[in-house]
Amino acid sequence: MSIVEESPEMLQRREVLRRAAWLLGGAVSAPAALAILQGCSAKDAPAAADWTPKFFKGNEAGVVTAIADIIIPKTDTSGALDANVPAFIDSMMADVYASDAQQHFHAGCAEFEAATQADGKAFLQQDRAAQTAAVTQALEAAVAADQQPRPFILMARELTLLGFYTSRVGITENMEYQAVPTAYHGCVPLSQMKKPVYWE
């Protein structure tokens, strides 16, 4: 029986998921995987200058922004903030995740802020080194605990990686990307159309 070949776009989405799963240690949550397969990507997120959070409350936008920047900092290539990852995470949480997952994210972010206070300073008041140490410690503890549902810090890491590797800079600067020149022809006689490709 023949199977119609998947479109290049769908194959690319599956490749993004495969690579993200590898980076995450073998698993991508169901909502994140579904969103990517349906075409959600960081390119759909609003530009940083135009972004008004629709899901984040209070300090959450700042906390998520700091975490994303620590996970994928700008070096000789672009980082998470260059790819508008915080806006992507905000959009994903608002539009894709179920209400129980949304509540879990809010509660988890509050717990993270409470747990990372040090020397009387909240997470966002700490210097970069202290923030990095707090994020690293939280990630190590969450991975070791292997809890379900996933702790806030693992949700933030997963969405940071997915947001970055579905962005233009994430793909072109950090993945094996080769642009394929093409053109759009809106009105072509049927006789000139190529036949569909099938797996034998």
Q: What is the pLDDT of residue 111?
A: 97
Q: What is the pLDDT of residue 191?
A: 60
Q: Token pair for residue 171?
A: 């793909």
Q: What is the pLDDT of residue 105?
A: 96
Q: Are 31 and 162 in contact (CB under 8 A)?
A: no
Domain boundary assignment for the chain: 3-199
Tell me the HSE value of 40 on the side-chain side, using a 13 A CA sphere. 22
Name the 3-class secondary structure at 65.
helix
Q: What is the pLDDT of residue 113?
A: 96
Mutual angle of helices 60-71 and 85-95, in 10-degree steps: 120
Q: What is the pLDDT of residue 125?
A: 95
Q: What is the pLDDT of residue 184?
A: 47
Q: What is the pLDDT of residue 72?
A: 92
Q: What is the pLDDT of residue 175?
A: 59
Q: What is the pLDDT of residue 192?
A: 58
Q: What is the pLDDT of residue 4?
A: 40
Q: Are 32 and 92 in contact (CB under 8 A)?
A: yes
Give me the sign of the Cα torsion angle 139, 132, 163, 15.
negative
CA–CA distance, 62 with 56 (Å, rounded to integer): 9
Residue-level pLDDT, tens digit, the chain, 200 residues: 334 444 444 445 555 555 555 454 555 555 555 555 455 554 445 555 567 899 999 999 999 999 999 999 998 888 999 999 999 999 889 888 889 999 999 999 999 999 999 888 999 999 999 999 999 999 999 989 888 888 999 999 989 988 887 777 777 776 554 555 555 454 555 565 554 443 43
CA–CA distance, 156 with 152 (Å, rounded to integer): 6
